[in-house]
Amino acid sequence: MNQDAERPRGDDRIVLSGMEFFGYHGVHEEEGKLGARFLVDVELVLGLSGTDSIRHTVDYGRVYALVGSAVTGRPYKLIEALAHHIATLLLTEEALVDAVRVRVHKPHAPLPGVFRDVYVEVFRSRSEARESGGGGQTAPAGGGEPAADE
């Protein structure tokens, strides 16, 4: 019996909300020099078995570390690209996750006015990736490298 057939499928969710990291993402030169605080929410969709074993779920600490490495790693010009990268990374690294919703918040975006928050939300699923020929893993657009002129 294959491993996918053995594990539960469902609409269960594990949510890590309000993870804060310092990164250097943005279109403006100052953003790349000064950096800023970014908040990330991750919603992992999976089938939870109900057992009391870490082997049957996702390790929250590992998810936090993966997201942190993405946000504090190399800079992106667009938070859209960062959110896509995080979603791809989580689907690649977490075999139990069927889909992921990622929100990257940029609460101090350089806008000419008063606002509470700016965020991008992406949703990626393993089944969509399979249907498009991705084999369950999606690759960042352009090999994960931001375009020089974006």
- Which residues have a catalytic role annotated? 106
DSSP state for residue 145 in the 8-state scheme: P
Dihedral angle sign, alpha carbons of residues 89, 94, 99, 100: negative
**What angle is formed at CA 20 by the lines to CA 139 and CA 11, rounded to 5 degrees?**
55
3-class secondary structure, 43 = strand
Read off φ and ψ for residue 25, nearest 5 degrees. Answer: -105, 135
Among candidates 119, 44, 53, which has minimal Cα distance to 89?
44
